[in-house]
Amino acid sequence: MLGASNLDELLAERERVNQRLHEIIDRATDPWGIKVTGVEVKHVELPEGMQRAIAKQAEAERMRRAKIILAEGEYQAAQKLKEAGEILKADPIALRYLETLAETAKEKNTTVVMTGVQDIVSDSKDIYLIDNGHKMMGSIVGTGCMAASVICSFAAVEKDYAFAATSALVCFGIVGELAAKSSKGPGTYKEAFYDEAFSLNREKIIELQKYRRL
């Protein structure tokens, strides 16, 4: 009976195998007046050669599933890049940057941030496009270091690093926009930037945030 069953059946349908064994043994012992009340398969000895074959089969199954997961991930990434391309109006340079970001994030299993006229954040799952900010931010020496510090502060309290970086850049960009409205030029912009950062609140963020998740 056991020899006629494959290993998957023994593991997944043990109750059915037990019942079938019970019927066979009970039928065989009935002429002797012996009543079998229950049979249960407790342990099955497998030849060494079969153990190796099962191990190879399991490894092949793991590889098959891994390839399926990888293929699904590639498909999802391609869809996100396609959506991003439509938003970026198919600019070849921007698309190339975006593709490189997505590939790097996936390969290194990390979060990658690219700042510019439009900020881009990517990890192995998502792509975020941030439109907050102002051209005057480039007139301040050290804004890149400040942005990095803000991102690290957000990442300290948010375990989703891609979302943390996105939130940080949204807030940083809003501050830049507000500072541009309240300053007269590069000389006063830096002071206004610090003042707006100090007074930034939840209401302003909700009102002025401009980002998309792909």
Given a cut of 70, the residues of the chain with pLDDT beneath it are 1-12, 42-47, 50-51, 54, 69-99
What pLDDT score was predicted for residue 177? 95
Residue 57 confidence (pLDDT): 74
Amino acid 154: pLDDT: 95
Q: Give the structural domain span for 19.
A: 1-45
Are 101 and 21 in a shared domain? Answer: no
> Is pTM beyond 0.75 here?
no
Predicted confidence at residue 71, as pLDDT, reads 63
Shared-domain flag, residues 37 and 57: no
**What is the residue-wise DSSP string for the chain?**
--TTS-HHHHHH-HHHHHHHHHHHHHHHHGGGT--------------HHHHHHHHHHHHHHHHHHHHHHHHHHHHHHHHHHHHHHHHTTT-HHHHHHHHHHHHHHHHHTS-EEE-SSSEEEE-SS-EEEE----GGGGGSTTHHHHHHHHHHHHHTT-S-HHHHHHHHHHHHHHHHHHHHHH-SSHHHHHHHHHHHHHH--HHHHHHH--EEE-
The domain tally of the chain equals 2
Q: Are residues 41 and 101 part of one domain?
A: no
The CATH number of the domain where 66 resides is what?
Answer: 3.40.1190.20
Please tell me whether residues 60 and 25 are part of one structural domain.
Answer: no
